Amino acid sequence: MLGIVVVVVIIAVIGFVIIGSYNRLVALNQKADQSFADIDVQLKQRNDLIPNLVETVKGYASHESGTLEAVTAARAAAAGATTVNEKVAADNMMTGALGRLFAVSEAYPDLKANTNFLELQRELSDIENKLAAARRFFNNAVAEFNAVRAQFPTVLIAGMFGFGADKPFFAVDATERATMNAAPPTVKF
């Protein structure tokens, strides 16, 4: 009789460990997916603003077609991205293209003074701030998921129930990293 009780207790403990680990993985996976959906919302808002911004800049700097085409191409890439990795790459492409677009605007004083351009620039800046916060939240959720997935005994449960490879992070791309590592600008008064 004691042997049966011990076996039942061991099976119950193993069952609780499996169920607890599975539920934790599901919850963390959902948290990471939900945080990525928040990023998607911000990216859509940014992509919706791009045509208005391009049209405004086009009116003042029509011969900057290369920069405008880069922004348009980045927007198309962002709209066509379906996987997390594609969206991360498209986001990096868009950030670079918008940086070049705003750098071009520095050469056109009339454009810089245009209220429509200033409003679009302010809205984009607001969205970029929200995106940065959403990326941090996503990266935290992914880090927690990846850490729990790799811990014992969850690593065994993750393999059994198909919680595959680590989720990717939003990270600074190589171009931006090179810019960040460059010498700081000299400020003179």
Instruction: Return per-residue pLDDT of the chain as tens, 189 residues.
Output: 888 999 999 999 999 999 999 999 999 999 998 998 888 888 888 888 888 888 888 777 777 778 888 888 888 888 888 887 788 888 888 888 888 888 888 888 888 788 888 888 888 889 889 988 998 999 999 999 999 998 888 888 888 888 877 777 776 666 666 655 665 555 556
* pLDDT for the residue numbered 15: 92
Q: For residue 86, which amino acid is it?
A: E
pTM as predicted: 0.73
Q: How many angstroms separate the CA atoms of 145 and 57, rounded?
A: 42
* pLDDT for the residue numbered 11: 95
Alpha carbon of residue 173 to chain centroid: 12
My answer on whether omega of the bond before 184 falls inside 30° of 0, hence cis, is no
* pLDDT for the residue numbered 76: 87
